[in-house]
Amino acid sequence: MIQMYHVHMSYSSDAPVLVDITMRIGKAEFAFVTGPSGAGKTSLLRLIMLSEACESGQLLLFGQNVARIKARHIYKVRRRIGMVFQDFKLLPLSTVGENVAVALEVMGRSRREVRKRVRSVLRLVGLEHKINSTPPRLSGGEQQRVAIARAMVSDPPILLADEPTGNLDAELSIEIDGLLSDIAARGTTVLVATHDMAWVDRTQRRVIRLERGRVVAGGLPE
Ligand SMILES: Nc1ncnc2c1ncn2[C@@H]1O[C@H](COP(=O)(O)OP(=O)(O)O)[C@@H](O)[C@H]1O
Ligand SMILES: [Mg+2]
């Protein structure tokens, strides 16, 4: 689902942020990207969600070389990738239902379909009863689950999550872990960036370790 071969990236003329990244993540895999702060975890996710471009090397998504996709078709690839941001990015004045519906509305789905799908994804994250609440009235863990629901509402084959347990206590982290595992078990490829080593060590999952922009372990499946 996600393949990188000798990918390099930098933000400006600054020092490179990602150096010679080679990695491969298969369908329905659940893998972590770990590494110290500044190692390049967020940048790696931004590359995969096509918010940044590779300077050199190849990125393939769904088996397609991204460099060969015409600019006017890129949005179609992007739509197949759900992203959970570190700071949630929820709209505070909109309801939970509206927050989750946004992605489908921009795709021009019918109101009936949007309503059905929003309910179903909120059920998946256990928040159907909060559909009419606004985000500031929810706990941190609930807000995180809304962010996951929003990313999953269009049923993307790839889900990326940046530090999804960053602001949560250990108990809520376990809950988010369970939810992401369920999502992977349903066939979605899940890639989670985190420096939460307690979480990573608790699970037996694949770990791709970044240090100073390089993959130092776990880039290729065993
Ligand atoms: N928008 C940006 N512009 C310039 N440099 C950036 C930007 N975002 C991140 N960086 C730099 O890229 C490096 C990797 O950052 P990041 O990908 O956020 O790492 P991590 O998520 O592992 O903490 C850091 O040195 C950081 O300062
Ligand atoms: Mg980061």
- Residue bearing the CA closest to ligand 1, atom 2: 11
Q: How far apart are CA 194 and CA 164, in angstroms?
A: 7
Residue with CA closest to ligand 1 atom 25: 38
Q: Please determine, for residue 222, whether its predicted confidence score (pLDDT) is greater than 80.
A: no
pLDDT-derived band at 15, boundaries 50, 70, 90:
confident
Cα gap 29→74, rounded to integer Å: 24
- Helices 111-124 and 140-152, interaxial angle, to 10°? 130
Judging by beta carbons within 10 Å of its beta carbon (0-12, 13-18, 19+), is residue 121 exposed, middle or buried? Answer: buried
Q: Using only the alpha carbons of the chain, give its radius of gyration.
A: 17
Query: Could you report the per-residue pLDDT of 115-145, keeping only the tens digit for each?
Result: 999 999 999 999 999 999 999 999 989 999 9
Q: Which residues line ligand 1 (CB under 6 A)?
A: 11, 17, 35, 37-43
User: Near ion ligand 2, which residues have CB within 5 Å?
Assistant: 41-42
Pocket probe mutation, ligand 1, options 7, 14, 42, max atoms within 8 Å of Cβ: 42
What is the best residue among 7, 11, 196 to mutate for testing ligand 1's pocket, by most ligand atoms within 8 Å of CB? Answer: 11
